[in-house]
Amino acid sequence: MSRKIAFIGLGIMGKPMAINLVKAGHHVTGFNLEQSAIDALVAEGGHGATSIADAVKDAEVVITMVPADPHVEQVILGEGGVLENVAAGTLVIDMSSITPQTSIKVDAAAKAKGVRTLDAPVSGGEAGAVEAVLSIMVGGGADDFAEAKPLFDVLGTTVIHVGPAGAGQTVKAANQLIVAINIEAVAEAVVFLENAGVDLPAALDVLAGGLAGSTVLNRKKANMIDRQFAPGFRIDLHHKDMGIVTTAARAVEAPLPLGSVVAQLVASARANGDGSLDHSALLRGVERLAGR
């Protein structure tokens, strides 16, 4: 069934996701701060809007994919935002990675207007978005999840309802903890292997086939071998996510000894001017520690 979808936030992730929804036969109207991304969506058969109000006016489903909590608050709750402009009964799906508390706040504000929400953050990176193989972790009502599932199935291959409003974000925070620690582990191994004079591509290939293998190793080894750090996933955004998981874990008294160290290393990467690089550039921090 073709749905009328408004898609707000056509960045590294949002643009290919919106295009995949167009290709699946949905009527997608996009809005983004940079016009070039709207033009790219229109070139693929989507529709462009001039404001959030314009994008959502006839939408049955609104999807938001913006950087962080303040953007979600502005886009959904703010003046001229989604809640001011959608009809009661609309389903608003925020796929950004934000704090569980903000997802819960958005859900409460929406419910007061008869609007339904899901928090549905994703994992899989730009490649996962382009290839439509994202992992999507969804918080919210079971009926709303069932309604949205066909849309999620267009965007990803692992789609799981993990609990009530905010639960998707809690799972995403755990995802970001695992990914950051994993990238740091690979980066430390890379510097160690290079210092030891071992052929790096060969070493990483054999490591990828054993217990040290991981999606991070498979997806990020080329970035590290070639020192190609165009994002991908920006260190600035991973810094935001380490803040989310640190706060969320503290609230439930879950210890994060490794996570705390890696959060500091991510912060240090930003302080060294690497914030706009891909998170595989954590390697540059290990190189600095190695005196390179």
Interface residue list for ligand NAD (CB under 6 A): 8-14, 31-34, 37, 65-68, 71, 74-75, 96-97, 122-123, 125-126, 232-233, 237
Cα distance between residue 65 and residue 135, in whole Å: 15
Q: Which residues pair with 122 in a beta bridge?
A: 136
The distance of closest approach from Cβ of residue 100 to ligand NAD in the complex, given in angstroms and rounded to an integer, is 14
In the set 4, 105, 149, 172, the catalytic residue is 172
The distance of closest approach from Cβ of residue 290 to ligand NAD in the complex, given in angstroms and rounded to an integer, is 27
CA distances from 145 to 50, 67, 93, 131, 251 (A): 29, 23, 10, 22, 27
Nearer to ligand NAD, 17 or 249 (CB): 17
Catalytic-residue membership of 220: no
Cα distance between residue 129 and residue 82, in whole Å: 24
Q: Which residue is nearest to ligand NAD (CB)?
A: 11
* Cα radius of gyration (the chain): 20
The distance of closest approach from Cβ of residue 170 to ligand NAD in the complex, given in angstroms and rounded to an integer, is 15
Cα distance between residue 236 and residue 150, in whole Å: 32
Nearer to ligand NAD, 9 or 46 (CB): 9
DSSP states of 178-197: HHHHHHHHHHHHHHHHHHTT
Cα distance between residue 232 and residue 125, in whole Å: 7
The distance of closest approach from Cβ of residue 216 to ligand NAD in the complex, given in angstroms and rounded to an integer, is 12
CA 261 to chain centre: 22
For residue 145 the two structure tokens come to 């999840």
Nearer to ligand NAD, 14 or 285 (CB): 14
Nearer to ligand NAD, 184 or 236 (CB): 236
Which are the catalytic amino acids? 172
